[in-house]
Amino acid sequence: MSSAEAVAVEALTSKVTFRFNDGVEYEALSNEGESLLDVARGNEVPVIHQCLTGSCASCICKVDTGEVSMETERLMSLLPSEAKEGFRLTCTAYADTDCVVDLDYPSTFSEDHEASQSVITINEFEWVNHNTVRIVADLADDAEMESFEAGQYVQLKVPGTEEWRSYSMSSTVRDLPEVTFYIRVLEDGVMSNYLRDRAAVGDELEIDGPYGVFYLREEKVPQIMIAGGTGLAPMMSMVDTLRLGNFRRKPVILAFGCSFEKDLFAQEDLELREGWMRNLDVRTCVSRPEGEWGGHNCRAQFSITQDDITDPETIAYLCGPPAMNESARDHLESLGVKGENIHVELFETV
């Protein structure tokens, strides 16, 4: 190879260092046009991933050094504020120079939390408000879900179709083989149409998972959870996991918000948990009350005030529509919550 050819090859490759939060690092060369996830998969780097389309955020990383570009038209699950702070989805990101990217989970996470496919059977089906159903189902005997972390999601296959949809579980690993979901039913949508028109106790659905890096960090610090609509589901799993683990030393705030009072659900369940956990403060918020309303009259994120940020290491979890997540992230950062301590998840809307 001539010196000119060597320079050309060097210009088309970049060294990518994948750094996990347990200190383990992997180095690999990225060719021009090769996504960071392609680089990771081609070099057996254990980066978590699932959808490969930019919609699930499982493969999120943060750029520490170097230049990493991204396909902005496919970043449905990355908030603008996250992109500005250097977060990238490895499936839509490309190394423009040598770079170091951080992954907020240990290098053994994929190995310890391997997804599997099985079947669930619905044993409870309940409308909990005008557009939300609660499903309780049993996993098949051969299911392997013991690696599930509170906050993660699974995929469910819509009966009679080849379509899969993602939903967080509101139950905990201790509830297995029983799993519980809160799912919003839209006017149209392949899963919504099934739930509205055909779903019944005894139905079987294929299940795949668990997936995702939105999960409970059990550091002994204050926890803030902000949920919009059915974004409450993973928060209930987290709250119950903390409760069952006797997490009592630090405050836990759960702010749950909907536009109208008719959109609320699980109120008795939340009241029970508040009674069981003296350190749990549930704040139910309605932003557009139509009559007398005894709860918080605001969007959920704005029920959190400066007085609630008592520890600089406070961890926050956000789950709701993109606009809520973006606003909540900005609000929490303005109150002093560190950006790296804010974990975000979107819920399925189809």
CATH for 262: 3.40.50.80
Distances (CA, A) of 21 to 24, 91, 103, 137, 211: 7, 20, 6, 35, 18
pLDDT tier at 34, thresholds 50, 70, 90: very high
- Same domain (yes/no): 120, 103: no
Tell me what pLDDT residue 287 has.
94
Say if residue 23 is in the same domain as residue 124.
no
Least confident of 7-16, 21-30, 84-93, 153-162: 7-16
Distance of CA 284 to the CA centre of its chain: 21
Q: Which domain holds residue 269?
A: 223-345
For residues 12-31, give the mean pLDDT: 94
Do 59 and 47 form a contact (C-beta atoms < 8 A)?
yes
Do 258 and 184 lie in one domain? The reply is no
Stated length of the chain: 350
Nearest to 62 by CA among 72, 70, 53: 70
At residue 4, does pLDDT exceed 60?
Answer: no
- Omega of the bond prior to 177 within 30 degrees of 0, cis? yes
pLDDT in tens, 84-103: 889 999 999 999 999 999 99
Handedness of CA 283, 184, 52, 148 (dihedral sign): positive
Residues 207 and 98 in one domain: no
CATH number of the domain within which 190 lies: 2.40.30.10
Cα torsion angle, 258, 261, 266, 269, sign: positive
User: What pLDDT sits at residue 291?
Assistant: 82
Is there a single domain that holds both residue 323 and residue 235?
yes
* Residue range 134-142: mean pLDDT, rounded: 94
- Which tokens in the block code for residue 190? 């392949």
Give the other-Cβ count within 10 Å of 305's Cβ: 9
One-letter-per-residue 3-state SS of 206-263: EEEEEECCCCCCCCCCCEEEEEEHHHHHHHHHHHHHHHHCCCCCCCEEEEEEECCHHH
Could you tell me the two tokens for 87?
Answer: 């977060």
Whether 147 and 241 map to the same domain: the answer is no
Any idea what the CATH number is for the domain that residue 32 is in? 3.10.20.30
HSE-up of 302 (CA within 13 Å, CB side)?
11
Among the candidates 67, 90, 110, a domain finishes at 110
Domain boundary among 161, 182, 211: 211
150 or 71, higher pLDDT: 150
33 plus 134 within the same structural domain:
no
d(CA 80, CA 66): 19
Which of 20-29, 74-83, 106-115 is the most confident on average?
20-29
Q: Are residues 79 and 189 in the same domain?
A: no
Kindly state the average pLDDT of the residues 330-345: 94
Q: Is residue 216 part of a domain?
A: no
Contacting residues for 339 by C-beta, under 8 A, at least 6 apart: 85, 329, 333
Specify whether the CB–CB gap between 21 and 7 falls below 8 A: no
Q: For residues 139 and 248, give the distance between their C-alpha atoms in angstroms, rounded to a whole number.
A: 31
Of 110, 142, 169, which one is at a domain's C-terminal end?
A: 110
Torsion region of 212: left, alpha or beta (phi above 0 gives left; psi -120 to 50 gives alpha): left
Q: Tell which wins on pLDDT, 131 or 293.
A: 131
Q: Would 217 be classed as within a structural domain?
A: no
- Same domain for 86 and 132, yes or no, is no
- What confidence score (pLDDT) does residue 125 get? 98
102 with 119, same domain? no
Q: What is the pLDDT of residues 250-308, one digit of tens each?
A: 999 999 999 999 999 999 999 999 999 999 999 999 999 888 888 899 999 999 999 99
> What is the total count of domains within the chain?
3
- The verdict on 283 and 230 lying in the same domain is yes
